[in-house]
Every structure is written in C-alpha cells, then in structure tokens.
C-alpha cells in the first residue's frame, strides 16, 4: 500500500508509525484506518521487531479524534461497521507480541485517546492533553474508550471523563494512571528511545508472555488468569532465554562470592 496519511519505517528492530495529517491535527479518517491495518499486518509478520512506537506528526497533536467530516455521514449501519473495524484494529495493536509505546506529543482526544490506550505504554510531553469528548458530539466513545479507560483509571474517573468530556492535562493524566511518564516536549523521543533500549535488552519471549498474561488476565476471573499465567510460565521455562538468564545470574552470584572471599 502507498501510505498517504502516515509515515512508516523500521530501524534497528523497532517499527515507527507517525500519523501524518498535521493539517487536521492527525484526525483519524477511514483511509487512515485502512493504512494502519496494513502497517499492523506488516508488523505482525515481522519476527525481528522488538518494539513499536506510535506518534503524531508535528508538535500539536498525537491524534485529535475522528474526522468530523466523515462522522456527519454515519448512520446506525455505517456507525456499527466503523466502530467494529476500529475496535478490532486497536485490539490488534494492544495484543501485538511486542510492546507498543505511544509518544503523545499534544492532543489525544476521542479516537486519539483510544489509540493511545491500546498501546502498552504512554509517554506524554508536558503539552499533551487528553479527553474522551465524544459526548459533546452527541455520541459515545466507539473504538474501545468506555472499556479501556475504565480498566486503566477505574470506573469513577472513567465515568467523569466520558460523561463530561473535559480535557485533562499531562500532569492529571499521570496522577490518575493514564500515562506512564511525562517529559518536556523536546525530550519526548529521547525518553521513548530510552524505553525502547530497555525493552531490547530484555528476553523477547519473556516480554511477550508477560504482556499476554497481563492483557488476558485483565479480561478473565482470577482463577482463569492464574491458570493462564501458569501455562505461560511453563512455556517460558522451555526457552533458551531462560537457560541463559538463569546461568548468567548464577555466574554473577559466584563471581560476587569470589570477589568478596566468601
């Protein structure tokens, strides 16, 4: 596919997706959804990748929401079709085998908030703003917002954000647990790079299994979640990474004992 509304590159085991509609604050259009689906298909097939970074072009917006011009045309049938397509796309992003970092560089409103919440981590610049503002348009979040926001910040805060649609700043987003870290605008990608470096230094399968266990467990009862965790732990015990990790730990302990004449 010839990408018109996003930029995509792979570099040193990392996939970088930049939403590239700065003239409309990177709003999510139907065409952009199609392009994101194609990019995610490429990422799903690439076993060499260790992380994904998603951001928006410019310094004003990560993604400002859905394209209002297209919203005008939606009736019940089209609305159902589009929300299901976007829900499935964001679930694919959430459930990728590798971590996904949202570098939130400005407004993350409506669909932008929903996209950021589908990512594993959210690192925000100090000028970032967040809102589930759909109610002000006479609709509700439709790409996972009512579900993921509740799971991230709790029912009370999620209801406040969804029912009032007010914008919160990066500091408040950090306080309620919506984002992982807030940094100055000019340090955003530097911080993202530091997180990517941490991810790449860790065993890939352990990261994959841990992420899957948390994501699946969030939607299961405790007993089912524990059973799935046990299954993934057992799988991890069969990997070369586990053998090398344990051996390295034991060797480090042996050297420490020798160095201290113990």
- Say which CATH number the domain at 12 has: 3.90.226.10
> What value, to the nearest 5°, has the Cα angle with vertex 142 and ends 15 and 43?
15
Per the residue annotation, which of 47, 48, 73, 134 is the catalytic one? 134
**Mean pLDDT, rounded, for 190-199:** 98
Number of folded domains that form the chain: 2
CATH code of the domain covering residue 218: 1.10.12.10
Helix (H, G, I), strand (E, B) or coil at 82: helix
Output the pLDDT for position 261.
Answer: 57
Q: Answer whether residue 85 is part of any domain.
A: yes
The domain boundary residue, chosen from 154, 184, 200:
200
Out of 70, 88, 94, 114, the active site residue is 114
134: annotated active-site residue: yes
pLDDT tens, residue by residue, 100-113 = 999 999 999 999 99
52-99 pLDDT per residue, tens = 999 999 989 999 988 878 777 887 888 888 889 999 999 999 999 999
Residue 92 is assigned to a structural domain of this protein? yes
pLDDT per position as a tens digit, 131-185: 999 999 999 999 999 999 999 999 999 999 999 999 999 999 999 999 999 999 9
The radius of gyration of the chain's CA atoms, rounded to the nearest angstrom, is 20
Q: How confident is the model at residue 250 (pLDDT cuts 50, 70, 90)?
A: confident
- Residue 240 belongs to what domain range? 204-259
The reply to whether 34 and 73 lie within a common domain is yes
Residue 126 appears among annotated catalytic residues: no
- Under 8 Å CB-to-CB from 59, ≥6 apart: which residues? 105, 106, 125, 127, 185
**In angstroms, rounded to a whole number, what is the distance separating the alpha carbons of residues 147 and 63?**
19
- Asked if residue 231 and residue 151 are part of one domain, the reply reads no
């Amino acid at each position: 596919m010839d990408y018109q509304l996003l930029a995509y590159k792979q570099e040193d085991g990392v996939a970088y997706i930049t939403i590239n509609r700065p003239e409309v604050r990177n709003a999510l259009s139907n065409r952009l959804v199609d392009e994101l689906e194609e990019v995610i298909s490429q990422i799903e097939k690439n076993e060499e990748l260790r992380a994904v970074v998603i951001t928006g072009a410019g310094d004003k917006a990560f993604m400002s929401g859905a394209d209002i011009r297209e919203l005008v045309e939606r009736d019940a049938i089209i609305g159902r079709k589009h929300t299901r397509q976007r829900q499935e796309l964001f679930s694919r992003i959430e459930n990728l085998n590798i971590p996904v970092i949202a570098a939130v560089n400005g407004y993350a409103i409506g669909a932008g908030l929903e996209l950021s919440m589908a990512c594993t981590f959210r690192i925000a610049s100090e000028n970032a703003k967040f809102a589930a503002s759909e109610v002000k348009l006479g609709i509700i979040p439709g790409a996972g917002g009512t579900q993921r926001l509740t799971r991230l910040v709790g029912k009370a805060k999620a209801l406040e954000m969804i029912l009032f649609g007010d914008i919160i700043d990066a500091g408040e987003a950090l306080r309620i647990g919506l984002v992982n870290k807030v940094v100055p605008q000019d340090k955003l990608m530097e911080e993202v790079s530091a997180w990517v470096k941490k991810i790449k230094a860790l065993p890939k399968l352990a990261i994959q299994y841990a992420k899957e266990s948390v994501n699946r467990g969030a939607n299961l009862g405790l007993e089912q979640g524990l059973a799935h965790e046990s299954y993934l732990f057992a799988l991890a015990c069969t990997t070369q990474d586990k053998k090398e990790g344990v051996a390295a730990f034991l060797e480090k302990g042996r050297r420490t004992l020798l160095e201290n004449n113990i």
